[in-house]
Amino acid sequence: MSPFATLASLALWAANALAVEDLLQQIDGTYETPSQCTTVTSEGHEPCSPKLRDRLRITRVDERTASFELYSVQINGHQCEIDGVAELQDDSLIYLDPDTKDPGQGLRIKITSSALVLSYLKPLTGPGQPPFCGMRARVDRLSFPRRARTEQPLTTGRYEFQHRFGKRNTGGFQASSSSSTLMAITSCLLTRIQTMSFRSASWMKAF
């Protein structure tokens, strides 16, 4: 290989490495969106408290990897929680679940110009609890707009991540929820019960 070709190859390698590094630096931060939490009532799905938030934290480790922490609360308070270290492959961060019974299953965080879009590495087939989530929650319902990014660490909410709580909770409304989210969900449920009681009383008076 000629000296010119060698220099060209080195320049191309350096440019690619810089682009990768820049991409991970660009997405490093915390993303927060309104939660998709709903409660199931006789009238269908109704939204929980607007105070509930879904959160994704991306932290650049090096030019090829980033750690991530995800929390989402969805139908009837069922939650998704996952954290780990993902590898950048093309336009996505790829995380392989080391504890799965389904080899090759994991999480993809696709990086687009407008959002971070989450999906499973393998399609979900048949009944059963989705990976990383409670029965009524799924990772592949989630996306986080890049405009929602902040460099501030996560400090509030149900899930202040494992360094704070030290355990997962992917079921429904359970006692391991933090007080802020649990109070918001409880308030939401009480409002639903009061509304149903009022309607029941009004119906009885009609007779």
Give per-residue pLDDT as tens, 113-141: 999 999 999 999 878 899 999 999 999 99
pLDDT category of residue 48 using cuts at 50, 70 and 90: confident
Beta strands in 51-145 (DSSP E): 53-60, 65-73, 79-89, 92-96, 106-111, 115-120, 143-145
| Per-domain boundaries in the chain | 19-197
CA distance 66 to 60: 4
- Asked if pLDDT for residue 184 goes beyond 70, the answer is no
How confident is the model at residue 43, as a pLDDT? 80
